[in-house]
């Protein structure tokens, strides 16, 4: 008899799909989206449809490994778990004794967003706190935008994406919904069926932009100026919601003055968009309620990224769209989830230093004696790839990598520990693009000698003789702690039903009872921002590439690949084939100026380094902009590098966020 096991996709995507695995004779034989889940509705993406195939891949790491060649060679021999744990325990003990716990950098990534096994619940943090390891600031993905949005609303949490079905005007701002979270498109389609107008604001004519009613190919890093320009038109029309401004916002006079600095004519010069298009969209915004804005992480990956999300978040405060179901801004729903994450910082004997994820090349110096990488592939995903590679060659750097596949990062490990995949362990998930808690029940036994993240740390704690009781909490005990009294959501219910909606109204209208800001209102002016050394009033901060005159240079952006999720799946033969290899999209004007032909291999380069990619000459990118989709493993790419070889290790304006879309390059035939 076939067994149906409910689970959840663990990957870094807003949709966090509920799925069901069919198990026959102890083997997972089929995977599909859960038809009963209101958001997933039975569908998975092109990537995750191949997940079971991926778990059985011939290159999966199934046993502990020890390095036997030079760092970077990828030469290993199989060892036992006992030898691996003994080696690790001895090295960690010696490092703590000689250099202190802060010489250990636990580098955790977003390979799984689980609250038990992954970054959602800071898996492993208790263990590291007992050792006194450095604090890992996991800021690489969305930090600048989170802060920018929070300075306005008091939280990054916004609209329930399901309420987009009620919208009359939808702005898809710097987000390629059909590639990076396609389930929301159903609700966009529902809105269109009722007459909604859909606008894509994106430097690239993406899959989503092609399906929208209108596409504005904005110059990268100028989104804040466009937001102000649209509001300038709203003011010209006298369409600001004066009652909402008076009763639910603070700082309007100062923000009003800022808007007046950005008439459509000036904004056209900044953004590279026709003034007529800016004015036309401003008129739509002025006249259409409710208006919904979907702005995700791509908007904020530049030097002015936090400011961009801050001013975009001000729009519904001016128009009063927060009054209406289907109105407002959706950046991330994760702040709405009441899960109780306790990193147990009380286990630290003293405060420890913070090491920032986006500054790996700068910070991986002689003070770091152990780098422990899990759910991350920094050599494939992190800025300034060449300097990271050089730092990881240090023979005195003890590197442990917990992984499923032999990534570029694995090649530099001293010890590799085989990690379970989602069908093989327990986990609890909360989407950042919907309002559901989702449970993952293991469907099958782990392959080979693979071990979950939590069990790995339990085993290592025992091997080191650590006595802190909380280090040995079971996965189900951790789940109970995370749920911690969430109304109506119990572990028993989740294990039976697979998911539960948060206890909020349906439809959900955020901030109907006020904003979680110091004033209790939407803040166009923020004392918290001012105290952090940022402008008091929300406004436009250009990216470096938007403000730098660099004749002959091109702005590089690195959008999501349709067939990969970050670097996950990019070793899957079929998905690799569908990706058509590393590509760089170049406008015909820029291609002609450089003697480039369609399909040829070219060098993309700047002072940081270079990578090779196949030229795709296309008007899908505007002149002056090139796009190289992220995700290819360097070692599977021509030249052994990917776009992160040319990306600066440099901070966004808020939260030290990454600047993947704020780099100048040139291109030449290879």
Could you report the per-residue pLDDT of 473-496, keeping only the tens digit for each? 999 999 999 999 788 899 999 999
**What element of type H or E holds 94?**
helix 81-99
Structure confidence at residue 557 as a pLDDT band (50, 70, 90):
very high
Reported as half-sphere exposure (CB side, CA atoms, 13 A), residue 78 has a value of 6
Indicate the range of 420-429, 479-488, 550-559 predicted with least confidence: 479-488
Q: Looking at residue 549, what is its pLDDT?
A: 78
User: Over 80: is that where the pLDDT of 424 sits?
Assistant: yes
Cα angle 571, 46, 177; round to 5? 115
Over residues 504-512, mean pLDDT: 94
Over residues 439-467, mean pLDDT: 98
Looking at the chain, the whole-number percentage of residues with pLDDT higher than 70 is 100
Strands 169-173, 197-201: pairing is parallel
Q: Looking at residue 550, what is its pLDDT?
A: 85
Q: Which residue has the tokens 């269109």?
A: 192
pTM reported for the whole predicted model: 0.97
* C-beta of residue 289 within 8 angstroms of C-beta of residue 325: no
The pair of structure tokens assigned to 133 is 């390891």
Q: Looking at residue 548, what is its pLDDT?
A: 87
User: Over 80: is that where the pLDDT of 262 sits?
Assistant: yes
CA–CA gap between residue 21 and residue 30 (Å, rounded): 6
Cα angle 582, 588, 589; round to 5? 125
Q: Provide the strand spans (E) within 64-113.
A: 65-67, 76-78, 104-108
Burial class (CB in 10 A: 0-12, 13-18, 19+), 467: exposed
76 Cβ contact partners less than 8 Å away, ≥ 6 residues apart: 65, 66, 67, 68, 69, 416
User: Over 90: is that where the pLDDT of 578 sits?
Assistant: yes
129 Cβ contact partners less than 8 Å away, ≥ 6 residues apart: 343, 344, 345, 347, 348
Indicate the range of 132-136, 211-215, 340-344, 412-416 predicted with least confidence: 340-344
User: pLDDT for 217-257, tens place per residue?
Assistant: 999 999 999 999 999 999 999 999 999 999 999 999 999 99
The pair of structure tokens assigned to 436 is 């559901």
User: pLDDT for 176-200, tens place per residue?
Assistant: 999 999 999 999 999 999 999 999 9
CA–CA gap between residue 537 and residue 459 (Å, rounded): 51
Rounded alpha-carbon distances, angstroms, from residue 228 to 399, 534, 538: 47, 18, 10
Indicate the range of 253-262, 311-320, 480-489, 656-665 predicted with least confidence: 480-489
User: Over 90: is that where the pLDDT of 210 sits?
Assistant: yes
Structure confidence at residue 577 as a pLDDT band (50, 70, 90):
very high
**Residues β-bridged to residue 170:** 198, 292
Nearest to 440 by CA among 376, 497, 501, 485: 497
Strands 625-627, 554-557: pairing is parallel
Q: Looking at residue 567, what is its pLDDT?
A: 97
* C-beta of residue 279 within 8 angstroms of C-beta of residue 264: yes
**What element of type H or E holds 232?**
helix 223-236
User: Over 80: is that where the pLDDT of 1 sits?
Assistant: no
User: Over 80: is that where the pLDDT of 536 sits?
Assistant: yes
Q: Considering the chain, what is the average pLDDT of its residues?
A: 97
Q: Looking at residue 487, what is its pLDDT?
A: 85
Nearest to 519 by CA among 240, 147, 247: 247
User: pLDDT for 365-408, tens place per residue?
Assistant: 999 999 999 999 999 999 999 999 999 999 999 999 999 999 99
Over residues 114-126, mean pLDDT: 97
Report CA 328 to chain centroid distance, whole Å: 21
Structure confidence at residue 38 as a pLDDT band (50, 70, 90):
very high
């Amino acid at each position: 008899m076939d067994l149906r096991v409910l689970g959840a996709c663990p990957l870094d995507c807003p949709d966090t799909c509920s799925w069901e695995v069919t198990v026959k004779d102890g083997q997972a034989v089929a995977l599909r989206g859960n038809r009963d889940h209101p958001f997933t509705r039975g569908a998975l993406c092109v990537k995750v449809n191949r997940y079971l195939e991926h778990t059985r891949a011939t290159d999966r790491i199934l046993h502990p490994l020890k390095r036997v060649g030079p760092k970077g060679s990828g030469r290993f021999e199989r060892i036992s778990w006992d030898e691996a744990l003994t080696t690790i325990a001895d090295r960690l003990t010696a490092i703590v004794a000689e250099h202190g716990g802060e010489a250990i950098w636990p580098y955790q990534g977003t390979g799984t967003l689980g609250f038990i096994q992954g970054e959602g619940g800071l898996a492993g943090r208790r263990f590291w706190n007992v050792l006194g390891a450095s604090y890992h600031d996991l800021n690489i993905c969305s930090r600048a935008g989170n802060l920018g949005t929070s300075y306005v609303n008091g939280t990054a949490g916004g609209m329930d994406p399901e309420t987009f079905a009620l919208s009359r005007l939808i702005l898809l701002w710097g987000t390629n919904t059909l590639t990076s979270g396609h389930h929301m498109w159903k609700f966009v389609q529902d809105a269109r069926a009722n007459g909604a107008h859909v606008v894509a604001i994106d430097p690239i004519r993406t899959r989503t932009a092609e399906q929208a009613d209108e596409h504005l190919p904005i110059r990268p890093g100028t989104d804040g100026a466009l937001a102000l320009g649209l509001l300038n038109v709203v003011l010209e029309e006298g369409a600001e919601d004066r009652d909402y401004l008076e009763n639910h916002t603070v700082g309007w006079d100062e923000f009003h003055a800022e808007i007046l600095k950005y008439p459509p004519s000036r904004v056209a010069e900044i953004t590279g968009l026709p003034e007529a298009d800016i004015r036309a969209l401003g008129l739509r915004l002025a006249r259409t309620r409710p208006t919904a804005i979907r702005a995700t992480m791509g908007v904020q990956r530049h030097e002015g990224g936090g400011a961009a999300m801050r001013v975009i978040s001000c729009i519904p405060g001016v128009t009063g769209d927060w009054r209406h179901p289907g109105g407002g801004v959706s950046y991330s729903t994760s702040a709405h989830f009441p899960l109780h994450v306790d990193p147990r910082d009380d286990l630290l004997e003293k405060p420890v230093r913070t090491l920032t994820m986006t500054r790996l090349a700068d910070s991986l110096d002689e003070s770091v004696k152990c780098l422990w990488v899990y759910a991350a592939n920094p050599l494939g995903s992190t800025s300034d790839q060449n300097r990271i590679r050089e730092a990881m060659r240090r023979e005195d750097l003890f590197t442990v990598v917990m992984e499923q596949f032999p990534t570029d990062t694995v090649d530099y490990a001293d010890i590799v520990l085989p990690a379970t995949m989602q069908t093989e362990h327990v986990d609890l998930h909360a989407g950042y693009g919907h309002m559901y808690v989702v449970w993952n029940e293991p469907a099958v036994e782990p392959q080979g000698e693979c071990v979950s993240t939590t069990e790995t740390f339990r085993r290592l704690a025992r091997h080191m003789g650590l006595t802190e009781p909380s280090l040995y909490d079971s996965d189900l005990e951790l789940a109970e702690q995370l749920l911690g009294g969430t109304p109506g959501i119990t572990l028993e219910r989740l294990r039976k039903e697979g998911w539960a909606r948060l206890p909020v109204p349906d439809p959900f209208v955020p901030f109907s009872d006020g904003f979680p800001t110091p004033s209790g209102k939407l803040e166009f002016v923020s004392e918290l921002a001012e105290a952090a050394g940022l402008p008091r009033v929300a406004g436009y901060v250009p990216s470096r590439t938007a403000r730098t005159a660099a004749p002959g240079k091109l702005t590089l952006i690195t959008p999501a690949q349709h067939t990969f999720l970050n670097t996950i799946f990019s070793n899957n033969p079929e998905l690799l084939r569908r990706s058509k290899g590393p590509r760089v999209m170049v406008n015909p004007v820029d291609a002609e100026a450089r003697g480039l032909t369609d399909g040829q291999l070219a060098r993309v380069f700047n002072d940081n380094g270079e990578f090779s990619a196949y030229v795709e000459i296309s008007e899908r990118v505007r002149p002056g902009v090139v796009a190289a989709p992220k995700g290819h493993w360097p070692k599977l790419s021509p030249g052994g590098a990917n776009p992160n070889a040319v990306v600066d290790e440099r901070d966004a304006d808020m939260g030290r966020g990454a600047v993947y879309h704020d780099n100048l390059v040139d291109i030449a035939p290879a």
